[in-house]
Structure 1
């Protein structure tokens, strides 16, 4: 049977084809369809959850939960294909005893059946907590393993191989202890079930033997009763394991079912319409936002005209990245309005808003695929020549050609085979190919050397293929990268404390001027280097 469950120890592993039942071809497509529907629905649901869930999730634990889809599929298979036929077997068995041997034998058979099923349910229910402890220990083991492997570099930075090995070994030992405890309890349960059945068989055989001695039953009838009793054992054994199996499947799939209960916090309003065309006109009016109980933005009002560049600067934690997250509809503001081209984003579908926004994060995450795959990911219809042109604009084309396989080079897990600067330039080229009207750069050139950064600033961001005709929102700590901006907003504790151009803010002699002076003293900086003919020290 497709996608049933193999017990290895007590770990559950999905598989494709049953090795314990031959079955007809009908079982395979039905089982595969149910598994496909469940697995894809769970995958899509996790992707649909809002950013707050993904920031707090434990990746390894979520992956382990998603892998338990096979357990729920096993439950559905047994209900669909096995439970009903076996119930019919038991009903026929009792009816056969009634018609063939009389009411007394039918009553004994019914008592054996009902008592066996009742005892199975009661005993399995008392062992549910043991099974749950084992499944939770299994999930914790998977979480520690996945997290540790994902954080490989951090482990190496702190010479923590031995610590990670000990930590993982402890989770395996906790699982094994829970597994052993559960296995012992199930062994005891099997003994009790067998005793109950054998006692029922003994009672019926004693009654049959008495009837044979009295001459009301023949020896052949006694043998028929004996034979049929052992035939009755098969469906009873099935149901004794069936309840345990579905209980185990449901407990194993509990975390997956819990995920389905979690709903996204940012969803489309009823009647929301798509943003079909975008000019890039942005207006924020008295926007307030808090992460749960922690205030993040206070009374933010700003206007970004189409084709202009707006930069956000300030200390860490001042609210710069939060502004970009609200623009991308990761969150809804608590009060106030965010409008694009005069339309409140809450009245627009989330997907349509995001289609018009391109984001270059500070630390881009790439798929473990080829460079070409990653570049075309957001817009698969672009031609290879368009990809090359975007990479030239991002100053990465020539570098890619030096790789042994060029654009067919795999970038490693999360892009780790590329340097930080290379990943950022790939992300910039990726955003160019998306062709958005609003571009958000979150420290997008922080990993680049000064020369490369200036090249990108001159030919790409300011009047180039990324900046021309697009509204740019830039978060930066290096003020030299945003000195050309049409307006610069200085954020402090979630509020805009200064606003103006580079020259206007320097003339204010406030926070921006202090930051500029501090960076100038740390390293001689030529203000607007590469952006204008004038030099400002």
Structure 2
């Protein structure tokens, strides 16, 4: 992206849409709260309605009726979803270009390796590894840009609002709860990694067997080994279960 102004602009636009979506998302419960409070006091006594109107005079100037508050609530929800979709649409070209660039470098690197490597290679496993790596790039970019950063931003905004309206203890409770959840998630993820590695190896072995068997189709047919190849392939699939 250093030499591509378009991609830098797309990243900045995606981050702008991200911030806009989170700001609107934080406003949704406030608008819903005002609508519920107004409807509750409107069905009660006039004094309560006058007190509510005085306490929320600034927002009342923007939303004159409960229906307007509900419309604003709907607009905030729809706006948040729209910003998220626009963010994904703007950033998708950057992610796909990154995948293309890395995949091209990997492909070139494989062709630069010596003959010994290619004579001993496992085509099926190699193809699966390249495919899994390409998909992992998209997952990492999406997770970092659209999950980790937005979550930190939203938790910070919510904690600040809670601290301002209800005091620091509520903000600390929220922050510590999220921190405990993150710590638990990371711990379980580290524990699951070894099982994921075993599953990936089994997947590579199964794919290697399938590709090599199909590449050598003539040999399999010549020796009438279709049933044997299917049985061996099934053994590798069994390791994935």
State the match for 2:186 in structure 1.
121
Tell me the alpha carbon deviations over residues 355-394 of structure 1, each in whole angstroms, 9 at most, x when there is no partner.
Answer: xxxxxxxxxxxxxxxxxxxxxxxxxxxxxxxxxxxxxxxx
TM-score (norm 1): 0.28
Task: Give the drift of 1:72.
Answer: 2.5
State the match for 2:199 in structure 1.
134
Q: Which of 112, 133, 152 is the matching residue for 1:87? A: 152
CA distance in 1, matches of 2:146, 2:115: 40
CA distance in 1, matches of 2:179, 2:148: 15
State the match for 1:154 in structure 2.
219
State the match for 2:143 in structure 1.
78
Task: Give the drift of 1:83.
Answer: 2.0
CA distance in 1, matches of 2:205, 2:137: 19
Secondary structure of the residue aligned to 2:201 is: helix
State the match for 2:46 in structure 1.
none
Q: Which of 25, 35, 46 is the matching residue for 2:99? A: 35
Tell me the alpha carbon deviations over residues 224-257 of structure 1, each in whole angstroms, 9 at most, x when there is no partner.
Answer: xxxxxxxxxxxxxxxxxxxxxxxxxxxxxxxxxx
Matches within 5 A, 1:2-81: 22-24=85-87, 25-68=89-132, 69-81=134-146
CA distance in 2, matches of 1:82, 1:116: 15
CA distance in 2, matches of 1:105, 1:85: 21
Task: Give the drift of 1:126.
Answer: 0.8
Q: Does the 8 Å contact 2:163/2:171 carry over to 1?
A: yes
Structure 2: runs of 5+ lacking an equivalent: 1-83
Q: Does the 8 Å contact 2:96/2:138 carry over to 1?
A: no
Q: Which has the higher contact order (CA 8 A, sep 6+)?
A: 2
CA distance in 1, matches of 2:170, 2:146: 30
Matches within 5 A, 1:449-528: none
CA distance in 2, matches of 1:23, 1:129: 37
CA distance in 2, matches of 1:78, 1:122: 18
Task: Give the drift of 1:22.
Answer: 3.3
Task: Give the drift of 1:76.
Answer: 2.3
Task: Give the drift of 1:66.
Answer: 1.3
Task: Give the drift of 1:85.
Answer: 1.9
CA distance in 2, matches of 1:72, 1:143: 23
Tell me the alpha carbon deviations over residues 51-93 of structure 1, each in whole angstroms, 9 at most, x when there is no partner.
Answer: 1111111111111111111122321232133321221111112
CA distance in 2, matches of 1:115, 1:73: 27
State the match for 2:6 in structure 1.
none
Matches within 5 A, 1:366-381: none
TM-score (norm 2): 0.61
Task: Give the drift of 1:116.
Answer: 0.5
Structure ID, larger Rg: 1
**Alignment size in residue pairs:** 156
Matched, 1:101 2:166: yes
Tell me the alpha carbon deviations over residues 382-414 of structure 1, each in whole angstroms, 9 at most, x when there is no partner.
Answer: xxxxxxxxxxxxxxxxxxxxxxxxxxxxxxxxx
CA distance in 2, matches of 1:170, 1:57: 21
CA distance in 2, matches of 1:77, 1:43: 23
Matches within 5 A, 1:304-383: none
CA distance in 1, matches of 2:237, 2:116: 30
State the match for 1:206 in structure 2.
none
State the match for 1:143 in structure 2.
208
- Looking at secondary structure, tell me which structure has more helix per residue: 2
What is the CA RMSD across the aligned residues, in angstroms? 1.5
Q: Which of 200, 222, 228 is the matching residue for 1:163? A: 228
Q: Does the 8 Å contact 2:128/2:207 carry over to 1?
A: yes
Secondary structure of the residue aligned to 2:85 is: coil
Secondary structure of the residue aligned to 1:67 is: helix
CA distance in 2, matches of 1:31, 1:135: 24
CA distance in 2, matches of 1:94, 1:22: 26
